[in-house]
Amino acid sequence: MIREEVVVIVGAGQSGLATAACLTVLSVPCLILERDDCIGSLWRNRCYDRVHLHLHKQYSELPHAPYPPSAPAFLSKWDFIRYLDDYAARFCLRVSLRCAVEAAEYDEATGRWRIVARNNAEDGGGVEEYAARYLVVASGENNEAVVPEIPGLEGFDGPIVHSSQFQSGSEFSGKAVLVVGCGNSGMEVALDVAECGARSTCIVVRSQLHIVSREIWAVAMLLMRFLPCRLLDAFILLLCYLKFGDLSKYGLHRPSKGPMYLKKYTPTYPVVDIGTVKKIKSGEIQVVPSIKDIKDNYVTFSNGSRKNFDAIILATGYKSTVKNWLKDDDHIIGEDGMAKQIFPNHWKGKKRLYCAGLARRGIYGSGEDAQSIANDIASDYHSQK
Ligand SMILES: Cc1cc2nc3c(=O)[nH]c(=O)nc-3n(C[C@H](O)[C@H](O)[C@H](O)COP(=O)(O)OP(=O)(O)OC[C@H]3O[C@@H](n4cnc5c(N)ncnc54)[C@H](O)[C@@H]3O)c2cc1C
Ligand SMILES: *[C@@H]1O[C@H](CO)[C@@H](O)[C@H](O)[C@H]1NC(C)=O
């Protein structure tokens, strides 16, 4: 049996939920298919305990749902999960849980997207088929853990944990821990591990990076509309210098382009420091260069030094796996599974295909995409009737 739908949305993260809410407000029926057994599964299941949103609540809300004045300025993971639950309930969103999309293909004859999903319900489930006039890809940037190729990693004699499985640093107290990757996750994981009493904490920093504070970044977001990028970057870097001083002596080097420039034109987002820098300065967290190889418990670094570790945490990011199931698209999703067209024209494809939340623009971007997509679908849908 093929189930007829108007709009099918793949993924019940904030992007999918926001798109569904905007469509509901515009009286367009839609159904969300979600492979996991809950909405907001990234936040619930693959996100360590101490996470707080990096952006001020003003930039972290979804369409039609401002936070109350009583909400904290920087929401915790649980605050945000509760917000998503309320959001889905308020708009009475239809979500089919445990429904993993395995293929989506455009059928020229009927003008419909044919979507095949595996139902992973406990009672056996099976394969379900849907036909929809519109298809929205909202499956997220974080589908699959990226594990780097490090010679000897598989022989390491101790736990190797990806940041998506990392819950809290308390599991590592008394241990010598190596954190690989220096994005926001790596920096925060290293801080958590150090605070929870690891014997030693090292973080591998291979590339140049910008480090800002939450407050500096909040000011930057505020000024973004008023200042040209170059001026704003100069101002941000001045504030960073006043706050952190020169970090290069600790092994942290800034790129030649500014943080706002990089956010705007590349997939790079600055690291928002919540205390790691202080621990790096005090020596509690040590910055180490890239890994050459691993033998037993010994890690050799690119500068020749060698150190013994009990555990390795890989904060090496994720990849999107949309390309595995989405057929008939050569327009909106690139080989990397992310939006192919550049902002602000990244959300609309051909054959009534859309993508939300795949332009590396965070929660704010999810909301903007949702609104654009819903407006576009609604005007087409209502003119068909
Ligand atoms: C630790 C951490 C902290 C972060 N902090 C911030 C922050 O402070 N501010 C910010 O703006 N961003 C932050 N981010 C970025 C965050 O990833 C995105 O903002 C956001 O989660 C993306 O939402 P989404 O709905 O697009 O994707 P997701 O939340 O990943 O949702 C996609 C959903 O699609 C489902 N899905 C995937 N494939 C299929 C399929 N084939 N069939 C059915 N369902 C499928 C997934 O199970 C998932 O539930 C953080 C990310 C991480 C990992
Ligand atoms: C290699 O880098 C580490 C971390 O920065 C440092 O402690 C060590 O002294 C360096 N070793 C050599 C041989 O330069």
Amino acid letter for position 188: E
Backbone dihedral region for residue 150 (phi beyond 0: left; psi -120 to 50: alpha; all else: beta): beta
Cα separation, 179 vs 185, whole angstroms: 10
Which ligand has the nearest atom to the CA of 205?
Answer: 2
Cα separation, 37 vs 286, whole angstroms: 39
User: For residue 155, how far is its CA from the centre of ligand 1 (angstroms)?
Assistant: 31
The predicted pLDDT at position 384 comes to 84
**How far is Cα of residue 193 from the mean position of the Cα atoms in its chain?**
21
Cα separation, 152 vs 164, whole angstroms: 22
Q: pTM of the prediction?
A: 0.93
The predicted pLDDT at position 343 comes to 84
302 lines ligand 2 (CB under 6 A): no
DSSP codes, 155-168? G-SS-EEETTT---
33 lines ligand 1 (CB under 6 A): yes
249 lines ligand 2 (CB under 6 A): no
Contact status, residue 157 vs residue 20, Cβ threshold 8 Å: no
H or E segment and range at residue 187: helix 184-195
209 lines ligand 1 (CB under 6 A): no
SS3 111: coil
DSSP state of 357: S
Which ligand has the nearest atom to the CA of 136?
Answer: 1
Mutate to test the pocket of ligand 2, among 178, 301, 307, 308 (most ligand atoms within 8 A of CB): 301
Cα separation, 172 vs 375, whole angstroms: 48
The Cβ of residue 160 has, within 10 Å, a number of other Cβ atoms equal to: 17
Residue nearest to atom 5 of ligand 2 (CA): 288
**What are the structural domains, with CATH classification, of the chain?**
2-143+320-383 (3.50.50.60), 146-314 (3.50.50.60)
Cα separation, 103 vs 324, whole angstroms: 8
**Per-block mean pLDDT, blocks of 10 residues, the chain (385 long):** 96 98 98 97 94 92 97 96 98 97 97 96 84 98 94 95 96 97 96 98 96 95 94 98 97 96 89 97 97 96 97 96 93 93 92 96 95 98 89
* Cα dihedral 132, 138, 143, 148 sign: positive
Mutate to test the pocket of ligand 1, among 31, 42, 184 (most ligand atoms within 8 A of CB): 42
SS3 content of the chain, % helix, strand, coil (to 5): 30, 25, 45
The predicted pLDDT at position 290 comes to 96
The predicted pLDDT at position 226 comes to 95
The owner of tokens 């997207």 is 113
The dihedrals phi and psi of 207, each to the nearest 5 degrees, come to: -120, 170
The predicted pLDDT at position 268 comes to 87
pLDDT, tens digit, 9 for 90 and up, residues 121-148: 777 779 999 999 999 999 999 999 999 9
Between strands 99-107 and 112-119, the pairing is antiparallel
